Each structure stands twice: as C-alpha cells, then as structure tokens.
Structure 1
Amino acid sequence: MEAREGKKCIQRQRQVPIFFVLLGIALAGSESRRYSVAEESESGSFVDNLLRDLGLEIEELAVRGPRVISKGKKMSLQLDRQTGDLLLNEKLDREGLCGPTDPCVLPFQVLLENPLQFFQAELQIRDINDHSPVFIDKEIILKISESITPGTTFLIERAQDLDVGSNSLQNYTISPNFYFHLKLQDSPQGLLPQLVLDKALDREEQPEIRLTLTALDGGTPPRSGTALVVIEVLDINDNAPEFTQLLYEVQVPENCPVGSQVATVSARDLDIGTYGQISYAFSQASEDIRKTFQINANSGELLLKQKLDYESVQTYTVNIQAIDGGGLSESCVVFIQVMDLNDNPPELTMSTLINQIPENLQETVIAVFSVSDSDSGDNGKTVCSIQDDLPFFLKPSVENFYTLVTNTALDRETRSEYSITITVTDLGTPRLKTQHNITVQVSDVNDNAPTFTQTSYTLWVPENNSPALHIGTISATDRDSGTNAQVTYSLLLPPPRDPHPGLASLVSINADTGQLFALRALDYETLRAFEFRVGAADRGSPALSSEALVRVRVLDANDNAPFVLYPPHNASAPCGPFPGPLGDVSGTGTLSHSYRYEVCLMGGSSGTSDFKFLKPIVPNNLIQDT
C-alpha cells in the first residue's frame, strides 16, 4: 500500500466547517487601530505614539505595565514605557512577511497588566521599490513556423516583481525589429507580454531572430530587468497540440510523499513525425511552482518535488504547455488544492508569569498566556486545561488568551508549592497536544500563633538550690515560616493582687530557648509552691502570641534539726503511772501533737536525737505548768 501511495496520492474532496470562537472578556476598544511604517526601516524607528489611543496620561503608562504582544514567538515591535512610543524591534521585509498580499497588515495586541486590559491593533507595512523585475529564464526560446500568418500572437514568459502596487511590474518593451511588436494583456497573474507577428517569416532568409525583452516597474526611479528572446524559425507545421481538457482540478493531502504523482495532463497532435511529437513543460510558472513540482516532458505526469505544507500554501495554479516538434503549443491549467492534516501541535506563548504568591489571597492571577494552532478547521481548534485537583482555574479571555487564577485562598501550612501543568489539545485526528509546566511557590503570611507543647507545666525544684539553676524548659512551635515562625519567650507579669508579686526575683526565662532559671535559693519552709504564666510570641507583623501556666513545687530537704519546746531540758518528771504530757518536737515537722504515753524510753543513738514511743494512752494538748 505504501508503494501505491508513493506513486499517486488519493485525491479526496471534503468540506471543512470553519467557525470562530469568541472567548472571555471584551476588548478595551471595539475597533482595531492601524499604524503604518515603511518596510526596511531601521530597528528602533518610530512608528507612532500610543498614549492617546490607549487613553492614558504619560504618568499612568509605566504603572499600567504595558507590553506589545504579536502572534507567534517573534516580537517585531516594542513599546517605550517612558514615552508611549511604538518602535520597531527589527527591520521588516514586506515581501518576506506578506508576499504578494497587499495591504501587508500584521495584527498585534497591547496588553495592560494592571488592571488587565487588551487593545487590538494592526501594523501596515508600506512597500518600497526595493526589487527589480526578474525573468526566471534569462533566455526565452520560441520556435515559430515560417507558415505562421502575420497577426498571430505568441505568449512569452513574464517577469516576476516581488513589490506590490505602483512599485510592481507595470510595462514591457521589445528591442526594435522588422518582424514583431509587443502586445500587453491583463490577467489575474499580472501583465502578460505577447509577441505579435507583423511580417511573414522566411526560414531561408533568416532562420533565427534575437530580441531583447525589457520589464519595467512603476517605482521612482523605475527598476528594470531583461531577457533574451530567441526565435527559431521552423518549417511548416499546421497542427498545434490540443489538451483533452483545459482545466484539471485535484486535491492532494499535505502529507503526500515526495515523488508522488499529483496529476497527469494529456494532449494530442494530428500531425505526424516530428511535428506530431509532443513535449510538456511549465508555462508562466513561478519559482515556487518549479521548486514544488516537476513535469515529465514525455508523459505529462505532474510529480511532487518537495513536501507540501497547508499552513504555508493552500492552493497552487500550474500552467502546463504542450509543444509539438514544430513549435506549436497549447496550454492548460492544473488547479491543486492542498488538504489540511493535523500535523501541527498547538503552541502556548506565555505573556505574564508570577512564580510566588502570598497565601490567603482570593482570585490571584498567576499567568497570562495565549494559545494558537497553525492547522485549520477542527485541527486548529484548541482546548486548554489543568489538573483537576489544584486550587486554580483557567479563565478564557479574548483572542485565545487565558489567565491562570487561584479559585480559593491558599494555605502555605497545608501546601507550600504547586506544580501546574497547562495542557493545550487540538480537536484534530489524531489529537495533538502541548504541555507547559509552572511551579508556584506560596509565600507565608503570619496567620498562626505559636502553640505550646503543653497547656501547663509542673516543675519540681529542691529547696536550697544554687542561684541560676536551670529548673525546666518550656517549648512552643509556630506553623508559619521565616520570621513569622521565630518564637520569643517571656514571663507574663502577675496581676496586682497575685499572692506572689515578687515573681521577677524568683525566676527568669531565656527569650530564645524557653529555659527557666531560679534566680535565688528557694526555702520549702517559706515558700512551698508558686505559679506564673509564660508567653510565646512570633516575630511576624502583626505579632501573634499564646500563653501557658507554669507551676513550681519546692521539694523539702532535711535542713532543720528538731528541738524540744516543752518541758525545759533541765526539768524533771514526777514518778507515777501517768506521766505528764510530752511537748511537741519542733524542727523536723514529724510530730504534730502531744500525747500521753504509758512508758517513754528516751535513748539517743550516737549523734542523733531519735525517740521511740510505746503504746499511746490518751492524746492531749500541751498543758501549762502547775
């Protein structure tokens, strides 16, 4: 099957619906503004001042963030933000940009970013006379039979001039001679020169005539080009070739392989011998036609010489001439329509991109971009999308422009970075797509207060501690980042009626680490417990803070010896079954009341004052001496 396709492409006809999609917001102005500049103007040349058309004062211009956006990735224009002047970025070649199309108009947009606003505009490139008429063949050979009667016309090769309008080809002249004069004929292809025979030819008298054909354009000063016309006088040949049809219409897909047969033309000649032998050649063919196609001189097969591209050229008109051995000729036209295939993926052009945005903002514009597809019909229609699980959405604008916007406030503490893939898919078969990746960083806002690891802390400190003793550490964390997450600790002043107003003399705190220190030795017998509040504040703006409760418990140490309060150490106790009451022993705090005992043994071990009491009888308070 590939071999068949290599020989001949299947010709198909189809109709492609064309429609346009108007998306998004309206333009700032309904009419497109047109500016003009002469081609080949130097880069940086002044085109126009846009302040009045944009409706801006010069002081507003830089604030609005204007920029010029052209279709495609190449920018031919730039906008001076200080003056509003529209300037050229490069030299512009009208013929390279627009070819024979006149006027040559390049659309562009002026984008104001703050707030977002679009202005449609066009740049018309004026033609200058920078090309001379050129004949593709410097030598044109005509074979004319001597039997041709005066008044017969002969079409000769026309010149090509890339300029347009008055600068294009306007006239032809022929060098003085006795046999021919020049006749000019208007046609859709331009002015066609024809030689008109004034006097019968005589091969025996003059077998060859050489003339100079000059083509002139209408520029100031005019430019010209010449070709040599060589007329070979032939013997009598009274039948010219005749094509079976004068117009051939074919459709060829743009992916047709090089070397494929596009069409076959056929002509016949009633003469015999040399006069009946027909050869085929191009007639009035441009350089582009000759580069794209070739004709088999013997068979009339029109073959593809280089690949077709619908996006560059959609139709070709090929003139083919059949010439017999006697020099008589006839022409036909082959009209070739190139069929579009989906061979171009969509293009995405990024105009504005913000890689970092603060959290907690609603509907923030992340990016502004445009999409395009060089194909036609459904092949050139595009659909733009991003992942479904992201807090962003695409907002259609105008002329295939989109803005990427947040659809909700972002939370950096939940997610600090997003990777967004913009996918542009066309509607052709097979579908082609282009992807563009964007990474967005979410910057922190101070929206989280520090949080203590505990709502309250209990610290145990032995009495008689050394001053500056580290008694404990409090800790708080902040979910924010940077300075918003840097925590500073402090002691909170007690209320005026607090039972421990001297807190500042008891403890201190390290503001950076949260370490707590006892400023002086604590005494269990004086202060058994106290509590205070601590604060943790971040360094955001405004700063956020939180509090926690710290309880300090003083641990008792055996730092007091016991002593007898009553009776005096030099008193004696009466003998009898019921001794008097014994006094409280103060110092250790182990005996809280006085008791009556049946037997009391007192015997202190070495270096101690230990007591042992046996069998209590009746508890009683201390009594006074009697």
Structure 2
Amino acid sequence: MITPQKALDREARAEYNITITVTDLGTPRLKTQLNITVLVSDVNDNAPAFSQSSYTLFVPENNSPALHIGSVSATDRDSGANAQVTYSLLPPRDPHLPLASLVSINADNGQLFALRSLDFEALRAFEFRVGAADRGSPALRSEALVRVAVLDDNDNPPFVLYPPQNGSAPCTELLPRAAEAGYLVSKVVAVDGDSGQNAWLSFQLLKATEPGLFSVWPHNGEVRTARPLGERDAARHRLVVLVRDSGEPALSASVTLHVLLVDGFSQPYLPPPEAAPAQAQADSLTVYLVVALAAVSSLFLFSVLLFVAVRLCRRDRAASGGRCSVPEGRFPGHLVDVSGAGTLSQSYQYEVCLTGGSGTSEFKFLKPVIPNFQSQGTGRNSEENPMF
C-alpha cells in the first residue's frame, strides 16, 4: 500500500515516478523492481488570476460604435474545466453610470468593444469592474478594475463670452480722443469646451474701419490703440476679431466690436443713427413743455401782480377819501390819432378821479391830460374834449 507522507499539490507537482523493489530472504537474495507513475488528480482549489490588478484603456472621442478598446486576461492554475475562465461585467459602484450602454465584454476572451460614440465634454472618464470565474464546482471568482479614459477631439469651436453677440443692441466701447498709443479699449473673452492644445486660443484683428488704428494682442484678446488719435479719425469704428483654437484642424469664431470716440467720459453717450428721429421728437416735446410751463408761470405772476395792484388801489382810495389821483405811469404810445395825422408821437396822461365815501370802485370821471402842441396850431386845450 502506497500512502503519501504529506498532502499533494498538483499545481506544485502533478506526477510522481516511484520505483518499488521486492527482495526475498534467501541466499543469495533475489529482488525485483517495479516502476510506478503516480498522477495527482486536480481539484478546483485555485481562483482565476488577472494579469493586472487594474487596467487603463484609452478610447478616442467620437469613436465608431463596436470599436475594440482593449482586453483583460485571467488564468487559472487548475486543469480541465477548473481552468476554463469566463468574463463578465460587474455592477458599477456608481448607480448613475449607464455601463450597459457604454461597453461590453466578450465572455470567452475578455475583449472590451465601446457600444456607442463617446463625448469627451459629456464623459471624460469612467471605471468599472470585470469578473473572471472558472467552471469548477463550486466555481471560484476574481475581479479587476478597468478605467476608460476618453481622448479629446477638437470638435468644439471657441465660444465668445464678451462682448455678447446675442443682445438686441450691440455693445459699444467708449474711447476718449485724448487716449495715447497702447490704451486698453476692450478685451475679448472666449472659452473652448475642448482640453489641452484644442483649447488654446489665439486672437487676431480680422477687419477694421480704419486699419492701423487698433491692434489685438494674440494671447489674451486685449484690444488696444496702435497710435494716438487725431481729429480726423472717424467717430465710430467697427472691429471684427477672429478667435481660433490650436487643434487639428483648427476651429474659429468671430466677434464684432463697436467703438465710439468721445471727447471725454463726461460727454453724454451719442445715440445710434436709428434712434435719432425718436430723440429729436422727444427734444421737440420737451421744448413745447418748457414753453407751456413758462406761459402758465407768466400768467400766474401777472394775475398775482394785478390782484396786489387792485388791493393797493382800494387801500389808497379809502385813505384819500375819494380825491383824484394822478398816476405817473404812461400808456403805450401806439394809439391811433383821430385827426388823421398817423400814429401819435407823444404819450398821453390821464387824470383819474374817484368818488369817495363809497365802497365801490366806480370812476367819477376820466379826462386826458393832453400837452399843447404848438406845431399843430389847433389852439384847443384838453378840457374841451372830456371823455366822460
């Protein structure tokens, strides 16, 4: 009977060659030798082992579906069915990761085919676990981590943040005429959704109303004056700036800047040409309102003065007891001469006599005080022509 002296390990030694010698007790002793080969049978005592504990795979952005992105490999030290390995995707630790729609694995050889086109801007990288199991009974399993990195493709043009291009009115930059060369007028701000070299931006002045007056710094988008301003420079300028990335092929976008030259920042902003009629109408309405207000104010002031004059006249009449008072003021000399001699060249004075003792303001009589014109030779005095 042959018994092992220790536990056998097929993975350490699968075969033993034993020589058995049989000797009798005679003289001389005779012996016989027998060679026996012992094969150690396999039991499923080894789990599959991956060649790496983790894998990093790279897939280009905008890849075609069913693209082979890499593979994993595991081996089993057992034999037969115990060494046959099958692969599978394990549930992701992130429940929001749609792993079943991203990748699949070949159960027989461990190859991984992206199921759909990947977008770097939406999903830059993701990771999951793969499992390897043998066909033993019971089956033994192991797992490995797989990380997939999406490589960026230059599929996004630059996006301009300032000046905004979707507004109803263009953004206008004010530039004083006293500005020297190198004066900062504005700055174009842009971003790119790509990464790395595909997101490196450069700026270029594409068009200008007056070439040579403005320049754009290529690395930061600053718009500056290239020379001092002169009186002959136009008041309005339109600049077109080109923004380009460094991808292959390069993508670009353009932006329009409007620059208005002013004498100083205290100068009011000039309206655009399309707003001029509305502004003129508003100015005319303002003038009408000012004139109307002035007329109303004048009428009110005249009414107040008339009221004060009447009150003073009544007070003076009460104090004088109805005596006649002769005002010193004169009426305007634009009355028509009844004698047919044309307009009067001299002013007239009137003597006003008021009745006393009564509370009314009735006139007693009113007669003109007419100077004696010697040159006319009429010889009539003013008392012959009483008015009342």
What TM-score do the two structures reach when normalised by structure 1?
Answer: 0.31
Larger-gyration structure (1/2): 2
